[in-house]
Structure 1
Amino acid sequence: MTQVTSDRRTGVSGPVAFSTVGLPEEQRVELWESHNADALIGLRCRTLTAPVLEATEINVQLDRIHLARVRGSSHVVERDLTMIRQRPAESVALFFNLAGEAFFYHDDGVRTVQPGQMLLCDADRPFMRGFSQGLEELVLKVPRDVFADVTGIDRLARPLVMSFAAGANSFAHALARQVGAAARDQDPDPAEEETLLELVAALAGRRRVDGLSGAHRAAALTFIDQHLADPALSAVQVAAAVGISTRHLSRVLAEAGTSVPKHILGRRLETARRLLEKPAATSMTIAEVAHHCGFTSAAHFSTAFTTHFGERASDVRRRAVAARAIPLQ
């Protein structure tokens, strides 16, 4: 089953979803292989303990690079020399493991990839991957010439595994979040290809500060979102996490028309508003909401909220309480 969506905000064609669920059981593996060969990377597939394959893939094709989100029951995939000759990918692949331990067998050895780890490899060198506990991952496919252009790496000597969990590599973490936000079936975010490529360049080890403003900004904003509840969050802390100076951090955010304090305040207020609007969260007091979002003073929060949104936090809470009180028909 294939479904094409479009972004109502831009009118641009959005994610394309394919699923084996509902297809004839005896044809699922064949159709899954055919879909992947056309949409992502050609692979041979076989199931393990599951009697039939249940798999879903969401694909987003940008100008030069391809994004995907893949979920599936336990299975093994293989890309051998015959498949590579028949279906050359001519790309570098980044697999971000979200759930379930996976193994990766390659002529360089065997690697185990845990949730929160990313595997970077040349898609045209033979490999086998296995998912005994099922699969949930994000994929970024970058043409080899584009990868070489942005990273300066003409050939990947061996596969690389690195963590993209919060607190590890800030560029890998920001990249995973951006790919995940774009490759989802519900309200996907438009992907910025240049920023994604800058993040790839940064995590691949390119050290030049110039030309990586988008990567630094994305990593900084991701770090801020992950630490909004910390009242001590500061430009010094954000810059240290990204590995740049506070001066450069100020410059890259100024290019986007904001600053560290302004962005932190705005994100805290937006997060607080969403929380106040949730009927299920009405048990929290407004002061508790403020504290949860990193405000140390309820009075400061109330003033900033009214200034930013043009209405009081208590008014937003009152509507949420009223919505919760409406009986279901």
Structure 2
Amino acid sequence: MFQIPPGCECRSMSSTSSPRLRNERAAPSPAGPAPMIANVVGSCACTVASDMVSSNIPARRRAVDNNVFGRRSRRSTPADTHATIWDTLSHRRSAMRRTRFSTLDVPPPRALSHWERSISRELFDANMRPFSSDAMVATCVVQRVGDVGAMSFDSDAMTLDRTHELVRDDPKASIYVSAVTSGTATYFDGDATHVAPAGSVLVYSPQRPYHIAFSNGFRQLFLDVPAELLALPDDCAAVFSSKQLRAPAAAELSAAIERDGSDAAVAAPTQRFVRALSNTLDDAGGRDYATLARRAVDRLYGDPDVGARDIAAEVAVSARHLSRVLANEGTSLGRLLTDRRVREALRLIESTNRTIGDIAVTSGFQGPTQLARAVRAATAETPTGRRRSVRRAGHHHGR
């Protein structure tokens, strides 16, 4: 699970009513450019260390190239990556689709069902409920550029639920990105709660159930981005803010979606916003590298030839940067590997009659000597002594 990255700060903002939307209900105005993200960051700030950027970005961009675009070379440059992102987002007229829908256009009793059907048709399945007993007021413009969906969205206070059943019946290999421009979004997935005030970016996965509550006067720029393109884990959930997502990238895309522009007028801003988002995830530590490293260790510890560089490659980040991330948590890649191997060795020593040599190989040690040193460091006992003491304790307990 992602946490708010170090150096990022999100400050709360009071909810406001939505007079603009209610005025529109009485007198809808013609569609036109609306600077939804004139100041995305506002009162939020993100500080990034320069050495983090230099070590992290190239490794992740190589992963993006290899995973998404099928490239074999590990020498891609930022320019190469931006070019391939552009290729992925490159507008084909058959792939471009723009849709606008609003509850202002339907009778109040049918507003909620109309909104749910429209969101389901254009983006994803979810259960929605307004907080107010009044008719729901919401407006949305969706623009698709290839596999990327971009949406400008504003609404009264409401909740959105993606249940276990919807996750099962409507699978999405995507990452959802909400750049909150007004109001507050509160995300909850059963494990953690993330509050995203105006100026924050909420990054989450539709592959797990979640609940989001939107305040009155809520506005956002929402993106549905292929998960591979951002090289993020399936169970991501993060809230952060970044100056890289302030105008012009976000404001430009928002305005392009709001107005009836040409294909290129939307495709190019989409490319620039996804590029800024990718850079922001790198800079702000948007990926939980420590958790990903532990998962990689759990998968690979049994191979005695696996070392720190292999784990870093599995996480798609440089070993140097991953070492710094883990050092901030008081550990290291070598320590993670050794601890995991010792845990497995102790489990086998205490619960089986397998030889110490066999256990050493199974647990990922080079041999019984290395295993004995690690077990002694962890328990102050030899492997054989550990087996005897555990069984002796079990024998006395059985009496």
Q: Are residue 107 (structure 1) and residue 190 (structure 2) matched? A: yes
**Cα displacement string for residues 228-247 of structure 1 (whole angstroms, at most 9, x for unaligned residues):** xxxxxxxxxxxxxxxxxxxx
Look up the match of 2:111. Answer: 28
Q: Quote the offset at 1:186 in angstroms.
A: 5.8
Report 1:59-208 matches (<5 A): 59-148=142-231, 153=232, 155-163=233-241, 168-171=242-245, 174-185=248-259, 189-192=265-268, 193-205=270-282
Question: CA–CA distance in 1 between the matches of 2:119 and 2:226?
Answer: 16
User: Where is the helix percentage greater, Structure 1 or Structure 2?
Assistant: 2
Question: CA–CA distance in 2 between the matches of 1:83 and 1:14?
Answer: 25
Given that residues 97 and 145 in structure 2 are in contact (C-alpha distance below 8 angstroms), is that contact kept between their aligned partners in structure 1? no
Q: Which amino acid aligns with 1:68?
A: M
Report 1:43-58 matches (<5 A): 43-58=126-141
Aligned-residue identity in percent: 18
**Cα displacement string for residues 220-279 of structure 1 (whole angstroms, at most 9, x for unaligned residues):** xxxxxxxxxxxxxxxxxxxxxxxxxxxxxxxxxxxxxxxxxxxxxxxxxxxxxxxxxxxx
Question: CA–CA distance in 2 between the matches of 1:172 and 1:84?
Answer: 32
Matched residue count: 190
Q: Gaps (5+ residues) in structure 2?
A: 1-30, 32-90, 285-399
Given that residues 140 and 179 in structure 1 are in contact (C-alpha distance below 8 angstroms), is that contact kept between their aligned partners in structure 2? no
User: TM-score normalised to the size of structure 2?
Assistant: 0.43
Question: CA–CA distance in 1 between the matches of 2:228 and 2:172?
Answer: 12
Secondary structure, aligned partner of 2:152? strand
Look up the match of 1:226. Answer: none
Q: Quote the offset at 1:157 in angstroms.
A: 4.5
Q: Which amino acid aligns with 2:195?
A: T
Q: Which of 1 and 2 has higher RCO (CA within 8 Å, sep 6+)?
A: 2
Look up the match of 1:292. Answer: none
User: TM-score normalised to the size of structure 1?
Assistant: 0.52
User: Where is the strand percentage greater, Structure 1 or Structure 2?
Assistant: 1
Question: CA–CA distance in 1 between the matches of 2:271 and 2:216?
Answer: 35
Given that residues 120 and 161 in structure 1 are in contact (C-alpha distance below 8 angstroms), is that contact kept between their aligned partners in structure 2? yes
Q: Gaps (5+ residues) in structure 1?
A: 208-329
Given that residues 108 and 158 in structure 1 are in contact (C-alpha distance below 8 angstroms), is that contact kept between their aligned partners in structure 2? no
Given that residues 43 and 83 in structure 1 are in contact (C-alpha distance below 8 angstroms), is that contact kept between their aligned partners in structure 2? yes
Question: CA–CA distance in 2 between the matches of 1:56 and 1:140?
Answer: 16
Question: CA–CA distance in 1 between the matches of 2:92 and 2:280?
Answer: 32
Report 1:174-253 matches (<5 A): 174-185=248-259, 189-192=265-268, 193-205=270-282
**Cα displacement string for residues 160-182 of structure 1 (whole angstroms, at most 9, x for unaligned residues):** 1112xxxx432565542243132
Look up the match of 2:102. Answer: 19
Q: Quote the offset at 1:39 in angstroms.
A: 0.6
Q: Quote the offset at 1:53 in angstroms.
A: 0.7
Look up the match of 2:382. Answer: none
Question: CA–CA distance in 2 between the matches of 1:158 and 1:172?
Answer: 23
What is the root-mean-square deviation of aligned Cα atoms in Å?
A: 2.7
Look up the match of 1:269. Answer: none
Q: Which amino acid aligns with 2:274?
A: L
Look up the match of 2:332. Answer: none
* Aligned CA distance change for structure 1 residues 30 and 11 (closer, same or farther; 3 Å): same
The farther-off stretch of 41-50 and 54-63 is 41-50
